[in-house]
Structure 1
Amino acid sequence: MAALPFLLRLCLRRGMVPPVGRMTCRSAPVTAFPVRAPAATLADVASAAGVGESTVSRVLRNHGSFSEKTRKRVMEAAAQLGYVPNRIAGTLASSGSRLVGIIVPSLSNIVFPEVLSGVNQALEDEGYQAVFAVSEYKMAREEEMVASMLAWRPAALMVAGLEHTPAARALLEAGGTRIIELMDLDGEPIDIAVGFSNLEVGRVSARHLLARGYRRIAYVGHDLAADTRAAKRLEGFEGVLRDQGLALMERSTLPTLSSIEAGRAGLEQALARRPDLEAVYFSNDDMAFGGYCLCLSRGIRVPDQLALFGYNGLGIGQALPQPLSTIRTPRVEIGATAARLAARNAPAQRIDLGFELIAGATA
């Protein structure tokens, strides 16, 4: 009989009337638009399982003491009622959030999905939940997302790069949340930084091309104002050329995000202006792949007539008939390392995970 009051309350809540002498519920006549039933609560699960609310909470969080029999009753009741825990309410009532926010600039290629993969797996292992947003390489949009994310009082917030609008940086510095900046170490981090030097990536790329005898070199890239890390790589690349008394013979940057199409168009522009080029340094592998496609369509022999060099070490570049010469970055490891540092409330620090030169066959 202990279940009777709970069933009566459930029927009333869902607009259902129990006929006299029966325990089953039938729908009352509906003369207007049906009203969506309120979500089941922790108290509903407790009543259905015949235990206290604190016991239900312990079972659902898998924290504290309870028997296997009790766990089974609670889980069955929760499943029957369609109960979904209110994580936000739990956060506000507890001593700390289990949410970690991540703002990435793009999901258009595999780079940041791989970072998110590393973040998500490590956070799950640590008992945290990831929440992510995409800024599309727009700093004003990132600023809005930083304010929105911090309003949820996450345990930590991860953002790509070290450059932000002044307002976003002020929020990150004063938000009372651990901040982890990813994929760059060239600058002053707010709190924790995990990644590598983009300047050094550019330098290593230039030395590789110079060591192979290339001197008439062009750059093909996307919007450098939006992608500050690509701008740093180009800065490092040009610095090495200057040290050798050289300069880029052509610089073709498109005011768009990186893509295969943009890489093809950028190389086409560069060759139209300087058909005597020996090598092209691309802002990333997507752009380099587009350049490779242009070479195939025009019968340009790679690398005999034109050498191509990328950045990121994507699988698509290594699957080409001639594996792309590029730099491989440890994206999954960066995400996983950042997540572990966030979950364990690590002290402020810089973690350099380095990168790998892939000699490939295109340069």
Structure 2
Amino acid sequence: MTDRPIPPRRPMTLRDVSEASGVSEMTVSRVLRNRGDVSDATRQRVLLAAKELGYVPNKIAGALASSRVNLVAVIIPSLSNMVFPDVLSGITDVLDETHLQPVVGVTNYRPDREEKVIYEMLSWRPSGVIIAGIEHNDACRKMLRAADVPVVEIMDVDGQPVDSVVGISQRRAGRMMAEAILGQGFEQIGFLGTQMPLDHRARKRFEGFTDTLAKAGHEVADQEFYSGGSALKKGREMTETILTRNPDLDFLYYSNDMIGAGGLLWCLEQGIDIPGRLGLAGFNGTALLDGLPRQLASMDAGRSATGRAAAQIIVDRNAGTLSDPKRVEIEPKIAFGDTLRRYKP
């Protein structure tokens, strides 16, 4: 993949907002600090100009106004998903050796919430930002581009980053899993996962997965989606539903390990021959799999390595040993476990 050149970044100032809105810097300051008597029309004009520019006011007052705090903003979509604690562990492993400390913001996969978290984090002038995903709305991208701090987007390299980026190619991960499943002789494949309009990484994996199947003359024979957090119970329910509806399926590919583990437990209770009659695979390679009666096939996305690499970029940029944006692609690895391999390698 060839990335387009990244435009030069510079911090936005009150003067920029003043010029864009056509009012004085003093009036801009009053509006953004919610102080003084300003008409509603002027207030809305200033707020719109600030949003269009990606300007975030500085909450650090006085002599410290031009400085940064020794905090790294880490913005993730969830704390309940087992994926992100591993990423945080990798980040803290690196930052623990420095003067920098991570502070976490959670978006709940909501673009409006992400916009608010980014705004609040940047207003305290952190020493860097690490943010999950490479898809953001226009307001978020403008704020991140205008920020005078290093920004590292993580867990997905399929797209144009704001600054630096670390993670796997989600589309490649989907392709690799499709190739592994077809290579083991499975043909009637079902997919089970979240509703994916907001989970861009799962959507990209699914795109890579279905494209590879199509090139081999196959397609996803059935699908079952859900909204809400990943859960063992949900995986059991979805697996029962899809196999009741389509008993001829010979493989189930889950968008994450939690629902995959629930599906595996349900299949074992029903006495289904795994993987002779039915193969299964999840995604993420979480430690949960170690406690299952059978080892669920999965894919390790290098979460800890991603966290470490992202944190190191922030450290190096602050130390002045790295000046340009950096792209680090992590190699995803398939673990066949006990539920995918029909044939000996």
Q: Secondary structure at the match of 2:152?
A: strand
Q: CA deviation at 1:129?
A: 1.1
TM (norm. structure 1) is 0.73
Q: Does 1:264 align with 2:241?
A: no
Equivalent residue in structure 2 for 1:105, among 60, 77, 87 = 77
Amino acid at match of 1:327: M
Decide whether the 8 Å contact of 2:81 with 2:229 is kept in 1.
no
Q: CA deviation at 1:231?
A: 0.5
Q: Determine the structure 2 residue equivalent to 1:333.
A: 305
Amino acid at match of 2:109: Y
Q: Determine the structure 1 residue equivalent to 2:6.
A: none
Q: Does 1:190 align with 2:162?
A: yes
Q: CA deviation at 1:256?
A: 2.1
Q: CA deviation at 1:235?
A: 0.5
Instruction: Map 1:16-165 onto structure 2 (within 5 A).
Output: 92=64, 95-165=67-137
Q: Determine the structure 1 residue equivalent to 2:335.
A: 358
Amino acid at match of 1:284: N
Decide whether the 8 Å contact of 2:240 with 2:266 is kept in 1.
yes
In structure 1, what is the Cα distance between the partners aligned to 2:112 and 2:218?
Answer: 37
Q: Determine the structure 2 residue equivalent to 1:320.
A: 292
Change (3 A) 1:322 1:263: same
Following TM superposition, where does structure 1 have runs of at least 4 consecutive aligned residues deviating by more than 6 angstroms?
88-91
Q: Determine the structure 2 residue equivalent to 1:208.
A: 180
Instruction: Map 1:203-242 onto structure 2 (within 5 A).
Output: 203-242=175-214
Which shifted more, 98-107 or 346-355? Answer: 346-355
Amino acid at match of 1:359: F
Amino acid at match of 1:356: K
In structure 2, what is the Cα distance between the partners aligned to 1:360 and 1:90?
Answer: 58
In structure 2, what is the Cα distance between the partners aligned to 1:144 and 1:97?
Answer: 19
Amino acid at match of 1:360: G
In structure 2, what is the Cα distance between the partners aligned to 1:176 and 1:355?
Answer: 32
Equivalent residue in structure 1 for 2:281, among 296, 299, 309 = 309
Q: Determine the structure 1 residue equivalent to 2:11.
A: none
In structure 2, what is the Cα distance between the partners aligned to 1:121 and 1:316?
Answer: 22
- Map Cα deviations across residues 48-72 of structure 1 (whole Å, 9 max, x no partner): xxxxxxxxxxxxxxxxxxxxxxxxx
Q: CA deviation at 1:91?
A: 9.4
Q: Does 1:294 align with 2:289?
A: no
What percentage of residue pairs aligned between the two structures are identical? Answer: 38
- Map Cα deviations across residues 301-348 of structure 1 (whole Å, 9 max, x no partner): 211221101111111113322211111121111111111111221320
Q: Secondary structure at the match of 1:362?
A: coil
In structure 2, what is the Cα distance between the partners aligned to 1:310 and 1:270?
Answer: 16
Q: Determine the structure 2 residue equivalent to 1:348.
A: 325
Q: Determine the structure 1 residue equivalent to 2:51.
A: none
Amino acid at match of 1:218: G
Q: Does 1:274 align with 2:246?
A: yes
Change (3 A) 1:157 1:244: same
Q: CA deviation at 1:103?
A: 0.6
In structure 1, what is the Cα distance between the partners aligned to 2:63 and 2:141?
Answer: 25
Change (3 A) 1:344 1:270: same
In structure 2, what is the Cα distance between the partners aligned to 1:215 and 1:93?
Answer: 62
Q: CA deviation at 1:161?
A: 0.7
Q: Determine the structure 1 residue equivalent to 2:171.
A: 199
Decide whether the 8 Å contact of 2:232 with 2:262 is kept in 1.
yes
Change (3 A) 1:127 1:296: same
Q: CA deviation at 1:94?
A: 7.2
In structure 2, what is the Cα distance between the partners aligned to 1:268 and 1:90?
Answer: 62
Q: CA deviation at 1:180?
A: 0.5
Q: CA deviation at 1:175?
A: 2.1
Decide whether the 8 Å contact of 1:91 with 1:98 is kept in 2.
no
Decide whether the 8 Å contact of 2:81 with 2:230 is kept in 1.
no
Decide whether the 8 Å contact of 1:218 with 1:248 is kept in 2.
yes
Which shifted more, 156-165 or 261-270? Answer: 261-270
Q: Secondary structure at the match of 2:296?
A: coil
Decide whether the 8 Å contact of 1:214 with 1:279 is kept in 2.
yes
Q: Does 1:170 align with 2:147?
A: no
Q: Secondary structure at the match of 2:97?
A: helix
Paired residues, what number?
277
Q: CA deviation at 1:292?
A: 0.8
Change (3 A) 1:90 1:157: farther
Q: Secondary structure at the match of 1:126?
A: coil
Amino acid at match of 2:230: S
Decide whether the 8 Å contact of 1:91 with 1:97 is kept in 2.
no
- Map Cα deviations across residues 218-264 of structure 1 (whole Å, 9 max, x no partner): 00001211211011111000011000111100011112232222222
Amino acid at match of 2:99: G
In structure 1, what is the Cα distance between the partners aligned to 2:146 and 2:64?
Answer: 19
| Gap regions ≥5 residues in structure 2 | 1-59, 341-345
